[in-house]
Amino acid sequence: MSINLNYANLEPHVQDKFAAVAAKDPDGGTAVEWFEHLVPESLQDSSHETEVFMDGGTVTQDVYVYDQGRASGHWETVEHTIDDRDISRIEAGANGGEYTHDNTIMEDSSINRSRGGEDMTSTEYEAAQSAETVDVQLIDGSTSAAGELSVGTSDIVAEMPAGTDLAGEALGFASEALVAGIAAYKVGSYVYDNCPSDWDQGEKTIATGGAAIGTAALAFTPPGQFVIACYIGFNIFKLGCKAIGQARKSIV
């Protein structure tokens, strides 16, 4: 009998999560099998990364900021929040759905709970997969520090399949510019708000512009478009699911 060392090295309270769902499995799946099913392989070698993926947490992204009066600069960190997840059943329990491998997926808890006793739609399933892809890119390869995760900019860039163009062909240059503008605004706003208090307006503008231009450039590349598009799309979808959940509650 082989031993899964990744599971064996999990903190006991993290192992308990998989033992709890294994106890509900009518097929008799073990806690180790549930661990392998629910947690992306690239995160399985870290108890902390596994816990952040399931329960949420904070990761940081490095952003390059130009120093005042110099051609050089330094790195600042931007925080990203990873939402907590539920083990969601594709066919709802109210409709006979069981906790089996082929009927479960990790999903944002707010979306799962807003759905109530209804089955998961194909759109919700795809959104859960997209959110997982983005979050894994943010978490993977990070280092633990004071209960948080730190990840460099290179770690969040997803590799695109050959020939894939997410924005160029589908939406054209105007859409690319819009996405780039949104990303640049988000990063630029962060840098401006965190400039030293003794900097004057001109120095803040130069630093903010440098960070925004660098982010916009990333947004024009296929990997940058992929991460930004997934992030924006999932958050719009999440907002819609919450609205639907509220409507369902008001009807009831």
**DSSP labels, 200-251:** -HHHHHHHHHHHHHHHHHHHTSHHHHHHHHHHHHHHHHHHHHHHHHHHHHHH
Amino acid letter, 117: G
Q: Give the total number of structural domains in the chain.
A: 1
Give pLDDT, residue 75. Answer: 85
Amino acid letter, 44: Q
Q: Are 91 and 106 in contact (CB under 8 A)?
A: no
User: For the chain, what percentages of helix, strand and coil (3-state, to nearest 5) are there?
Assistant: 60, 15, 30
| Among candidate residues 38, 12, 13, 14, the one with its CA nearest the CA of residue 25 | 38
Distance CA(20)–CA(30), nearest Å, equals 10
Range of the domain at 171: 5-251
Along the 252 residues of the chain, how does pLDDT read in single tens digits?
Answer: 689 999 999 999 999 999 999 999 999 999 999 999 999 999 999 999 999 999 999 988 777 787 777 778 888 887 889 999 999 999 999 999 999 999 999 999 999 999 999 999 999 999 999 999 999 988 985 544 334 444 443 333 333 334 434 433 443 444 444 445 545 555 555 555 666 666 666 655 555 555 555 555 555 555 555 555 555 555 555 655 555 555 555 555
Give pLDDT, residue 186. Answer: 52
| Among candidate residues 130, 86, 153, 163, the one with its CA nearest the CA of residue 231 | 130
Radius of gyration of the chain (CA): 21
Q: Are 123 and 252 in contact (CB under 8 A)?
A: no
Give pLDDT, residue 171. Answer: 39
Give pLDDT, residue 142. Answer: 53
